[in-house]
Amino acid sequence: MQRLKIFALALALLILGVLPGFAMKRAGNLPFVLSALDGRFYARCIPAKDEGGAGSTKIYRVESAKDVLIDSYDFYPQHGIWLGWSPKAGKIAVLNRLIEHNVDPKIQIELTCYLGGKKLASYTTEQLWKMGAQKKLDMVGGNCAEISISGCEQIPGTNDYDFVIRTGLNTYLRMDILTGKIRAAKSKGGNENFKF
C-alpha cells in the first residue's frame, strides 16, 4: 500500500512538472481553408513546414463547375489571414499576420497587406507599438503587438473598405485595403482622429 501511495505521488508530480511545458507549446502548422465574403471566395492555406510562415496561400472564387484561382501567395498565414473585397479595384485584399521568434521588433514584419496578388505595405512590431499597440510576449517568448483584427469593413457612405485593427480597449487602426496605408487611429467613440 505504501508503494502505491509513493507511486501515485511520483506520478502526480511528474504530470504537474510536464504539463506547464505542454501548455506553452504551440500546435504545429496544419492546412486549412478560410471562407470569406459570404462564401463566394476562400483561401486555401498549405504550410511547407511544421512551424513558421513558409508555404502557400491561394485565393479561389467558388463556381458551379470548378473553382477559379484568383491570386496566389508564397506564405502560410500561421497567425491569421483576413480577406476583403474592393469594388473599386475589383480585387481581393489580404491581410496576413506573421510573428517570428527571437527577431528584433524593429525589423520583425508583423502585418502585411496585399491586393490582387501584390504586396502593398508591411508594418513591423515596433511600428505597431508606436501606433498604440501594447507589447506582448507570445507563447514561445517572442515579442509581438497586442492587437486584434476585426476584419474588413466598409466606410459608411463610401465605396472604400478598411481592415480594422484593434490596438487597445478603446482604440483601433483603419488600414486602407487599396493602399495598405493606415488612414487613422480612432477612439472607440470616434472622438479622436489622428494620422500617422
Would residue 89 be called left, alpha or beta, if left means φ above 0 and alpha means ψ between -120 and 50 degrees? alpha
- pLDDT tens string 116-166: 999 999 999 999 999 989 888 765 556 889 999 999 999 999 999 999 999
Within 13 Å and on the Cβ side, how many CA atoms surround 68? 6
- Calpha distance 42→32 (Å, rounded): 10
**Which is nearest to 184 in space by CA: 162, 168, 160?**
162
Q: What is the pLDDT of residue 195?
A: 39
**Which is nearest to 128 in space by CA: 114, 147, 112?**
147
pTM of the model: 0.79
- Containing H/E element for 39? none
- pLDDT tens string 10-64: 555 445 454 444 444 567 899 999 999 899 999 999 999 998 899 999 999 999 9
Q: What is the pLDDT of residue 96?
A: 96
- Calpha distance 101→99 (Å, rounded): 7
Q: What is the pLDDT of residue 5?
A: 56
Q: What is the pLDDT of residue 18?
A: 46
Is residue 196 over pLDDT 50? no
Q: How many residues does the chain have?
A: 196
Q: What is the pLDDT of residue 6?
A: 60
DSSP letters for 58-115: EEEE--SSS-EEEEEES---TT-EEEEEETTTTEEEEEEE---SS--TTT-EEEEEEE
The set of residues, in sequence order, having a beta carbon less than 8 Å from that of 150 and lying 6+ positions away, is: 164, 165, 166, 172
- pLDDT tens string 61-118: 999 999 999 999 999 998 999 999 999 999 999 999 988 777 889 999 999 999 999 9
Cβ atoms of 134 and 168 within 8 Å: the answer is yes
